[in-house]
Structure 1
Amino acid sequence: MTQPLTLQIADKGLGNTAYLVDLGDGRALAVDPSRDLRALEAAAGTRGLRIAVAADTHLHADFISGARQLAATRGATVLASAAGNRSFGHHGLRDGDEFDLGGLRLRALGTPGHTDEHLSYLLLDGSQPVGVFTGGSLLVGAAARTDLVDPDRTIELARAQYRSVHRLLELPDAVEVWPTHGAGSFCAAPAGSARTSTIGSERAANPLLSAADEDAFVARLLGSLGSFPPYFLRLGEVNRRGPAILPRRLGVEQLTPQAVAAAQATGAMIVDVRPVPAFAAGHPSGALSIPLRPAFASWLGWLAPDDTPLVVLREPDQDVEEVLWQAAKIGYDNIIGELAGGQAAWSAACLPTTSVPLVEASDAAGAAATVRVLDIRQEAEYRAGHVPGALNIELGDLPAVLGHLADVPTVVMCGHGERAMGAASLLSGAGFTQVAVFAGSSQDWAAAHGEDLAIGP
């Protein structure tokens, strides 16, 4: 048996992996493709492959599926769970159903838990199992969270996840494990950075699988759950209905500073994607800082509304199409334009501008003893080590508590500064006037003050 070529298409920002399988006849299978198909289609094009089949393991909560896009633009057949009740054309599969790929076959395995209708797909060469696309079921060192469908059903679905994972463990040890969710995904908290594994490796090393019984598995899984962006609560339904088809290239209207200011006055939000130092030096008052980087989409979906017009502010060397694709893959089709001429044009128009001081590690030792240190990392990060006395409010939770915070001298910190500047922009936009950002980590702050990090709550 010759192992079919299976390529990983990693989205490191969202922590997910799509797969491209060469079917050996010029056609390819795509599994869990994102709406941003650029990397997937480039990989297929380089190898002279046509994506003929697109399979979704479940109704994704963390990204918009590209399966319908592939059907519309490439004529691909969409495979998905029949129980998902998708509103667009697809080939519905149930547990045990098989789909002929022309020499290879896909067998659907019902593996509910992460979602009700979740399927895993076993890739067969003749009667020989080669690998299994596990989606949000069995992951590398973990299993995906079960609290996204309905918080009241979290335990019920965790028990289903236990049964699904152990069903997959009935496969031979040599079978490859190809999960969708991986390191960096808010759908899971896997240890390490490996994106694929084998059944045998997971049987031996996955911490969840060492749980003594179902109750212990459930307790361990639920104990690993952290927060997640609010867009997770609506994308499953978007994927069920079928997302709008997008053109191959995305563009956006150029807006004058005056037009942007007028839009802002009627409720639009300026999203400033420039690096932290540029935003700190000067930005339109009220702008939200989300630097363009791999994690941009997650923080856009966490901090910016999906139903409010958004205007992009970028540096000339930043790719506006990258901004638009990152937004589109989480369903943000509400970007109405970008600020023509950038910050220079805004300043030249004498429109309201704000700056945020950056505190370097060399200056941290001189910070006033009464300053409030606001650590906006996730709780697990904070517990692993933080500045003694620092107040922990996760960045995603900050908008809801702004009205309960006093406007006192505040230094915001995270790991590198990007999330901290996002928090500072929220504070500044809410009228806080004594906010600075620490351009470093909690370790850097502690070292400057000659103290050890505090561990735990």
Structure 2
Amino acid sequence: MTTSTTPAGSPVIVPIDTPSLGDRSYLAHDGRLAVVVDPQRDIDRVLALAATAGVRITDVFETHIHNDYVTGGLALAEATGARYHVNAADEVSYERSPIRDGDVVEVSATMRVRAIATPGHTYTHLSYALEAVEQDVGDFQPVGVFTGGSMLFGTTGRPDLLGQDHTHDLVHHQFASAHRLADSLPERTHVLPTHGFGSFCSAGSTGDTTASTIGAEKLQNPALTQDEERWVADTLAGLDAYPAYYAHMGPANSAGPGAPDLTAPEEADKDTLAARVAAGEWVVDLRTRTAFAAGHVTGTLNFGLDGQFATYLGWLIPWGTPLTLLGDSPQQVAVAQRELVRIGIDHLAGAATGSPESWTDNPLGSFERAVFADLAQVRHHRPVTVLDVRRASEYADGHVDGAANIPLHELLARVDEVGSGEVWVHCAGGYRASIAASVLAAHGIRVVAVDDSFDEFAASSGLPLTHAA
């Protein structure tokens, strides 16, 4: 599909979404030649789109050395013979076409790309203006700007991923970069970010926005509507935890990752699964939280494919731990494997498909599911522990009175704090609570998973809540 308001005759811009990571890549073409910006690791998606459009990829661009996924840029360039444009100032271990602020890459007689230095998410971050010949003007004019982790929809990329020592400088760079884009590009220019669709690389919420322009951002983006001092203070105050696996992405991308191997993992039988669980390896059930709660192999963990699977698994798993997947079908395992290679988990110890009864000879584990109204009733009759596994900032904004807060990403290290009584665990909507419930159940704790919306139903359930001042 094209961007919704691209004028006729302009380049076709095809977003390539990766919802589980909250990211977006782009293929842009003139009907014959194409460029790709910030491709994900599984480049077969990009190649298929190019083949369908009947276009040849000539150039691949990276806005920055990514922190939240392993890039497919180098592999895509090698597969297509395209030029691979990475900032000349980035220290990388592979050959690339070095690009700098102001450089222009001529793609065809009617389409070109201009680099714009926009530090803030990283020091060497580049945005790329896609320019096309405008019939009425007879010259190149900006159509869209690929902003990577710079200007997002209604916010910007976060400035703290390089460490606290750099955050102060980067946040001011980010403010200046947003203004550079707003001041140098026409208001009709489409804003085409990589992050901001649920990615933890965002410094704030982008809401449900799926498209925007420079003109719209001038009206709604705090980086463009607030003064610098206030915006910096608000941005820094709003920063929260980000996935632990991010620490491994920058080095992987600087080293030059190759194409992933998506060959199906080796099949694991019942004895193998039992041995792996006993050894403390990770055996992950990919089924929905409803199915997992109803019956699962004791000691396995539930990271359903219906949520931000790769983000949360990558956040919690001790890096390098052997990983075996359990799924309803080979297709479900294949989807999970694709998700995992995007964050650099390339090797799976094995997989099994079918149902829990085919994975073990032992009695299945299970736990109850409930809603907030059930919790309100139970607390009138018996003492239970309420465990809130949302992030600390979410908890601070409002929580159930008396609820303990252990953010999900800290739970494995803090299980001993939970206690041995009956635990009702909740998050904002149910997905994280199911992960947490599987962790607690694997540790022998009696758990009930609250599968409900905190914002919609916690207050109406009759539960006493504490709200932020």
The TM-score with structure 2 as length reference comes to 0.90
Counterpart of 1:17? 24
Alpha-carbon offset, residue 280 of structure 1: 1.3
Give 2:311's aligned residue.
298
> Does structure 1 residue 374 correspond to structure 2 residue 381?
no
Selected match of 2:326 from 299, 313, 334: 313
Q: For residue 396 of structure 1, what is the aligned residue in structure 2?
A: 409
Maintained 8 Å contact 1:255/1:340: no
1:284 partner SS = coil
Residue 199, structure 1, aligned to residue 211, structure 2: no
SS at match of 2:449: strand
Displacement after TM superposition at 1:340 (Å): 4.9
Q: Residue 119 of structure 1: CA displacement?
A: 0.7
Q: Which residue of structure 2 aligns with residue 440 of structure 1? A: 452
Q: Using a 3 Å threshold, how does the CA distance of structure 1 residues 174 and 361 change in structure 2: closer, same or farther?
A: closer
Whole-Å separation in 2 of the counterparts to 1:168 and 1:330: 30
Q: CA deviation at 1:379?
A: 3.4
Q: For 1:211 and 1:400, locate their aligned partners in 2 and report how far apart those are by CA, in whole Å.
A: 40
User: In the alignment, is residue 244 of structure 1 matched against residue 251 of structure 2?
Assistant: no
- 2:407 counterpart letter in structure 1: E
* Contact 1:250–1:324 (8 Å) recurs in 2: no
Is the alpha carbon distance of 1:301 and 1:244 closer, same or farther for their aligned partners in structure 2, counting shifts above 3 Å? Answer: same
1:228 pairs with one of 228, 242, 252: 242
- Match in the other structure for 2:67: 61
Other-structure match for 2:468: 456
Tell me the equivalent position of 2:48.
Answer: 42
Question: What is the CA-CA distance between 1:357 and the residue it aligns to?
Answer: 2.1
How far the C-alpha of 1:308 sits from its partner, in A, is 1.1
Give per-residue Cα distances to partners, 1:244-275, cap 9 Å, x unaligned. 3224x431111111122223334421011111
Residues 78 and 90 in structure 1, CA contact (< 8 A), matched pair in contact too: yes
Matched, 1:175 2:181: no
Give the 3-state SS of the residue equivalent to 1:169 in structure 2: helix
Q: Alpha carbons of 1:158 and 1:365: their partners in 2 closer, same or farther (altered >3 Å)?
A: closer
Query: 1:138 is matched with which residue?
Result: 151
The aligned amino acid for 1:179 is P
1:415 is displaced (CA, Å) by 3.2
- CA–CA distance in structure 1, aligned partners of residues 43 and 391 of structure 2: 30
Matching residue of 2:375? 364
Deviation, structure 1 residue 432: 4.1
1:176 positional shift: 1.8
TM-aligned CA deviation for residue 361 of structure 1: 5.4
Q: Is 1:87 aligned to residue 98 of structure 2?
A: no
With structure 1 as the length reference, what TM-score do the two structures score?
A: 0.92
Which one of 97, 100, 104 corresponds to residue 98 of structure 1?
104
- Per-residue deviation, 1:390: 2.0
Residue among 92, 113, 123 paired with 1:116: 123
Aligned residues: 450
Structure 1 residue 339: Cα displacement: 2.3
Structure 2, unmatched stretches of 5+, are 1-6, 133-138
1:349-387 residue CA offsets vs partner (Å, 9 max, x unmatched): 33x743222234564343144211111123344344432
Moved over 6 A (4+): none
Letter in 2 for 1:176: H
The amino acid of 1:258's aligned partner reads D
Deviates more, 1:103-112 or 1:52-61: 103-112
Per-residue CA deviation, residues 93-151 of structure 1 (Å, 9 max, x unaligned), is 11112211112221111111101111111122243222211111111111110110122
C-alpha distance in 2 between matches for 1:318 and 1:274? 12
Q: Provide the C-alpha distance between the structure 1 equivalents of 2:353 and 2:206, rounded to a whole number of angstroms.
A: 43
The answer on whether the counterparts of 2:329 and 2:353 sit within 8 Å (CA) in structure 1 is: no
Is the Cα–Cα contact under 8 Å of residues 23 and 29 in structure 1 kept in the other structure?
no
Q: Distance in 2 between matches of 1:245 and 1:42?
A: 15
Q: For 1:301 and 1:3, locate their aligned partners in 2 and report how far apart those are by CA, in whole Å.
A: 39
Say what the alpha-carbon RMSD is for the aligned residues: 2.2
Quote how far apart the aligned CAs of 1:222 are. Answer: 1.1
* Distance in 2 between residues matched to 1:435 and 1:307, nearest whole Å: 28
User: 2:349 matched to 1:336?
Assistant: yes
Q: Are 1:267 and 1:309, in contact at CA under 8 Å, matched by a contact in 2? A: no
1:375 corresponds to which letter in structure 2? Answer: D
Consecutive unaligned residues in structure 1, runs of 5 or more: none
SS in 1 for 2:191: strand
Q: Counterpart of 1:278 in 2: which secondary structure?
A: helix
Q: Residue type matched to 1:440 in 2? A: D
Question: What is the Cα deviation at residue 306 of structure 1?
Answer: 3.0
Which region of structure 1 is more displaced relative to structure 2, 184-193 or 437-446? 437-446
**Given the superposition, is the C-alpha separation of residues 362 and 308 from structure 1 closer, same or farther in structure 2, using an over 3 Å criterion?**
same
The aligned counterpart of 2:4 is: none
Please give the alpha-carbon distance, in whole angstroms, between the structure 1 residues aligned to 2:79 and 2:258: 12
* CA deviation string 1:255-307 (max 9, x = no partner): 11112222333442101111112211222222111011251111111122330
Confirm or deny: 8 A CA contact 2:395 2:405 kept in the other structure.
yes
Q: Does 1:152 align with 2:165?
A: yes
Alpha-carbon distance in structure 1 between the residues aligned to 2:48 and 2:209: 23
| Deviations 1:55-87 (CA, angstroms, capped at 9, x unpaired) | 110011111111112123222221111111221
